[in-house]
Chain A
Amino acid sequence: MGTIHHEFMSSALRMANLAFESDEVPVGCVYVHDGKIIAEGMNDTNRSLCGTRHAEFLGIETILQTHPASIFEETDLYVTVEPCVMCASALRQLKIRAVYFGCANDRFGGCGSVLRINSDEGVERPYPAYPGFYREDAIMLLRRFYLQENEKAPVPKAKKSRELKTDFSPLDLGKYVPRAEIEQLYGKDALASLEDGKDSSEKEA
């Protein structure tokens, strides 16, 4: 697959790699307006000691330095991991046009995994959130990061948590995207495989 969405997601992955190299949970993002990347972001919670410095927020601040907030109405976000509840709400308040993400965030996800902040009834308009772009790369980056963390831990964890898993459970597209939109964005095969697997349990970010 080599859609325009994959192209932008590979830029987001590059930011996630940068986060990894900076000892941050590897999540990266880019904001795209008029077909061009206008801002990048990577996780910054460890360096700043601030649990709210997520990749999405760093990108938002960059954009607001030179643009009015109304630019988000025509801006898309590409982020390697599903936005958490906090970021999902922030993006809705900014009236983001659409969000494309890599893997689901089963612990904090606000675009379908834990809550549906993007599509629930609310003050601002809802936005669509599409999962699965370079999903496996996003997951592997997170796995490598947590593996490294476990090795650094003063009390070594069980052996099982010291092995790099390389298998992936199937993504349940239907949990995130209305059926009508699946074929258009993901193709006929995606709809077919939706009938098979129902599990998307990656424990990440």
Chain B
Amino acid sequence: MSPSVGVSALDETVSKNASETYLHHKEPHNHNHRRRVSIASLKAPDSASLFAQVKSRHERTELELVDVWTTMIPAKIATTVVSQLKQKLPKDPHTLMHLRRLVKDDLPPRDESGVLLSLLICSVDAVPSEDDVRALLDPLSELVTTPTPDERLFVPTIKHAPAFAAPTKEQSKEWSEGTWPIMWRGNPHLIVSELPQEDEEELKGHLERLLDLTEEAHNAGEIPIATIITDPETRQVVASSIDTRNSSRNPLSHSVMSCIAKVAAAELARRNAVAEMSNSQEDASNQAYLCHNLQLITTHEPCAMCCMAMVHSRISRLVYVQNMPRSGGIDRNSGPGYGIHWNKHLNWRFEAWGWNFEDILMYDVDENINA
């Protein structure tokens, strides 16, 4: 996107000491410093999207299915049921964010319960035993006050659902036929090719925070790359990091790695505190999948190391501002075109979105840097 200001790439020493290139040019002539723009006030023309989905070369993928528990509930109490259920469900080993939670059933209701809805409970891998699912549902069935409730209510049934969000709108429709339907959070009509408006607005706020962090990094003599991890459910920031490879003298202290490590450290501290208080061992089944369902937002397209770290920690969505054509591990045109976020040979996939609008970063980063 922005041309890299700096030493000619012909110079051998650039790639050899790529991390120092930025430092050399920081103090004497600070010509790569641009004015900060207010992201909140940015509006894409003609209601175009501020973010574009980044596809990998593996994108035309086949439908993969995952077994999920579903049941039928009266529409009237749906909100209560969903919120009570959420508190009791274990962490799901599958991402179900792309699936609709509630689906209107085709069959007409048979009694005075009114409209019936199908509810997605969790994956079968999360709760393998039907008895355990019944145990989750039984207390909820008491919310039904009608004298002769439909016998299909709160009965667990296994259905197949697409394991991942479809890469294209057309595939999304195709995949939803005959399986549990895919949806895009917040807007069932808008599937994957655009982010929902409220997500875009939320992301603008996170980008402002990222700009603060790059300024902080720049002032500390670090490479101005920054990352934050957020929880899409609560829209809260879970952790944030800047690149620290200059001060740490560790070329691998990338902001993505540090941010993931922070999430783990916080969870470890929390568990230790809980264990100390209750003197009990907590369930440790989901140990290595801590960033599951979390969103990672970063200034630059991450390198292969950081992309794979996101696979290992089960990040659900990546958003980044600037492409790194030499070192990035996402875009099909970056480096050898790894597309690590969507490689069918790897055991996890996540969506990737790139900034699709005018330049907002204030500092250039050498193209040979691994972000």
Chain A residues proximal to chain B, CB less than 8 Å: 45-46, 48-52, 57, 60-61, 64, 68-69, 84-90, 93-94, 107-108, 110, 114-115, 117, 120-124, 154-155
Are the CB atoms of B252 and A52 closer together than 8 Å?
A: no
A52 engages B290 (CB within 8 Å): no
A52 near B257 (CB under 8 angstroms)?
Answer: yes
Contact B346 A108 (CB under 8 A): yes
- The residues of A that contact B268 with a CB separation of less than 8 Å are 48-49
Cα of A61 to Cα of B284 in the assembled complex, Å? 26
Pull 23 A–B residue pairs with CB atoms less than 8 Å apart, ordered by A: A46-B287, A48-B268, A49-B267, A50-B261, A51-B314, A52-B309, A52-B312, A60-B250, A64-B249, A64-B250, A85-B340, A86-B312, A89-B303, A89-B305, A90-B305, A94-B252, A107-B347, A108-B308, A115-B340, A121-B336, A122-B335, A123-B15, A155-B128
Greatest chain A CB density within 10 A among B271, B288, B347 is at B288
What secondary structure prevails in chain B residues at the interface with A? loop
Within 8 Å of chain A (Cβ to Cβ): is B210?
Answer: no
Q: Contacts A48-B264, A154-B128 known; list 11 others, CB within 8 Å.
A: A49-B267, A49-B268, A51-B260, A51-B289, A51-B312, A69-B250, A85-B340, A89-B329, A93-B370, A122-B336, A155-B128
Q: Does B18 contact A (CB under 8 A)?
A: yes
Residue on B nearest A106 in the bound complex, by CB: B345
* B residues at A contact (CB < 8 Å): 15, 18, 128-129, 249-252, 257, 260-261, 264-265, 267-268, 271, 284, 287-291, 303-309, 311-314, 326-327, 329, 335-336, 338, 340, 343, 345-347, 368, 370
Docked-complex contact A155 and B338, CB < 8 angstroms: no
Give A4 Cβ to nearest chain B Cβ, in Å: 28
In the bound complex, how far is the Cα of B15 from the Cα of A69, in angstroms? 15
Contact of B345 among A49, A60, A114, A122 (CB under 8 A): A114
Residue pairs across A and B with CB atoms within 8 Å: the count is: 113
Q: With A46-B288, A89-B308, A123-B368 in contact, is A114–B252 under 8 Å at CB? A: no
Chain B residues, CB < 8 A from A60 = 250, 252
Residue in B closest to A68 when the chains form the complex, CB atoms: B249
A61, B257: Cα distance in complex, Å:
13
